[in-house]
């Protein structure tokens, strides 16, 4: 049975030797998609980092930046990353031996080596993490495909409407 994608306090992840696992099969609040996001996510507390791994896929509708037509695009990710917790063990009043006894590891990493960080007193949000990973897969420029007709610059016949994006230019013509 799938767990809800509700935020989990990071401290609640510490005693779980196998970490926490989620099966994703739902729409994400932050992402408008045609199909539910489907995939899996696993997070393991490693002392001073969270090890997060997962994969998911969905289909979104985008608007072509060139012809303004809507088109569907699949989005998918498969990734693994470490989220820096700073001196989480020390902040919780634990020695390195306490952390090792609990089954976690203290990885010898510098904060500068990691790009993402979380407050060790905060929560891990699985739905938001999946949203971020899918958002990274969105194209910078939306194109419906190689056969995109592009914008209609002029009406081909009398009385035919001009693309509204070019209407302001028509006012400038003599």
Q: What is the pLDDT of residues 25-70, one digit of tens each?
A: 999 999 999 999 999 999 999 888 999 999 999 999 999 999 999 9
Average pLDDT over residues 107-118: 58
Q: Which residue has the higher pLDDT, 116 or 13?
A: 13
Q: Which pLDDT score, from 0 to 100, does residue 12 have?
A: 93
Name the one residue in this structure whose structure tokens are 């993402």.
116
Secondary structure class of 110 (helix, strand, coil): coil
With pLDDT > 90 as the criterion, what percentage of the chain qualifies? 53
Q: What is the pTM of this model?
A: 0.72
* Interval 125-138 mean pLDDT: 96
Judged against a pLDDT cut of 90, whether residue 89 lies above it is answered with: no
Residue 2: band (very low, low, confident or very high) from pLDDT cuts 50, 70, 90: very low
Report, as an integer, the average pLDDT of 141-145.
Answer: 92
Phi, psi of 130 (to 5 degrees): -65, -40
Contact 114, 86 (CB under 8 A): no
Report the C-alpha gap between 44 and 146 in whole angstroms.
42
**Helix and strand numbers, DSSP H then E, in the chain:** 5, 6
Ramachandran angles phi, psi of 9, nearest 5°: -60, 135
């Amino acid at each position: 049975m799938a767990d809800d994608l509700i935020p989990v306090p990071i401290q609640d992840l510490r005693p779980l030797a196998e970490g926490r696992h989620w099966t994703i099969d739902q729409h994400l609040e932050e992402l408008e998609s045609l199909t539910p996001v489907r995939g899996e996510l696993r997070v393991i507390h490693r002392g001073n980092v969270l090890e997060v791994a997962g994969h998911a896929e969905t289909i979104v509708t985008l608007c072509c930046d060139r012809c303004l037509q809507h088109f569907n695009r699949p989005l998918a990710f498969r990734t693994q990353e470490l989220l820096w917790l700073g001196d989480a063990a020390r902040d919780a009043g634990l020695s390195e031996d306490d952390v090792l006894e609990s089954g976690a590891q203290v990885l010898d990493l510098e904060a500068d080596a990691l790009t993402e960080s979380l407050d060790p007193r905060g929560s891990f949000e699985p739905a938001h993490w999946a949203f971020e990973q899918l958002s990274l897969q969105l194209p910078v420029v939306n194109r419906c495909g190689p056969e995109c007709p592009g914008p209609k610059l002029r009406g081909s016949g009398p009385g035919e409407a001009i693309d509204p994006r070019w209407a302001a230019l028509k006012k400038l013509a003599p």
